[in-house]
Amino acid sequence: MAGGQERILRGRIRSVQATKKITRAMELIAASRIVKAQQRVLAAVPYSEQITEVVRDLAAAGGSTDSPLLGTRDSIKKVCYVAITADRGLCGGYNSGVLRAAEAEIKVDLKADRDYVVVPVGRKADGYLRFRGYNLEKPFNGFSDQPNYSDAKEIGEHVVALYASGEVDKVVLVYTRFISSGSQEVVLR
């Protein structure tokens, strides 16, 4: 082998080895992040289940139904989809599953002559849906790494205002439910 080609080959080998080291470092960082995220999810499960049970009990108990949030609309003319994704990629089907499900539901609504609006939560939903020309409401970005109550409250208040004002007749949350690190499920609720 000529000296020039050998040098080029060694350079390529070094480049591949450097890429391998970088990839390994990214893998280790991702593994530590997923452990932290799993701990946060598991810590929130009892709270989420309890609050869902309380709301179900209140709705089942009847009582005064003066709240515009507890009633159902006679006809649904416009649907609001809250598409919840991450701010970054490299997370497998986490974002793409939500976006595919939202797109499929929007197509069903359009065939049924219902209008729609999407509230994108996360940069991935915002960028994807904006690029494809979907009808978007105010986007909510920048807090998927460390979500907190005030972020959720801001989104909730915006969506409740849309529903209470009569601007939309139905609200559908589209998100990914964590089952395990190897399994997630897209939920429309």
Q: Tell me the pLDDT tens digit for each residue of 14-71.
A: 999 999 999 999 988 888 887 887 887 788 788 878 888 887 787 777 656 567 776 7
Q: Which domain holds residue 33?
A: 1-63
What's the pLDDT at 30? 81
Mean pLDDT, the chain, as a whole number? 88
Catalytic member of 86, 91, 101, 125: 91
Shared domain for 152 and 112, answered yes or no, is yes
Tens-place pLDDT, residues 96-130:
999 999 999 999 999 999 999 999 999 999 999 99
Shared domain for 111 and 145, answered yes or no, is yes
**Number of domains present in the structure of the chain:** 2
Shared domain for 83 and 171, answered yes or no, is yes
Does 72 fall in a domain?
no
Does 180 fall in a domain?
yes
Instruction: Walk across the sheet containing 115-121 and list its strands.
Output: 115-121, 78-84, 170-180, 183-188
Does 69 fall in a domain?
no
What's the pLDDT at 52? 80
Shared domain for 87 and 164, answered yes or no, is yes
Does 105 fall in a domain?
yes
Residue 122: Cβ within 10 Å count: 24
What's the pLDDT at 123? 95
Kindly report the pTM of this predicted structure.
Answer: 0.78
Catalytic annotation on 80?
no
What's the pLDDT at 66? 67
Does 68 fall in a domain?
no
Shared domain for 36 and 84, answered yes or no, is no
Of the given ranges (33-42, 80-89, 159-168), which has the lowest mean pLDDT?
A: 33-42
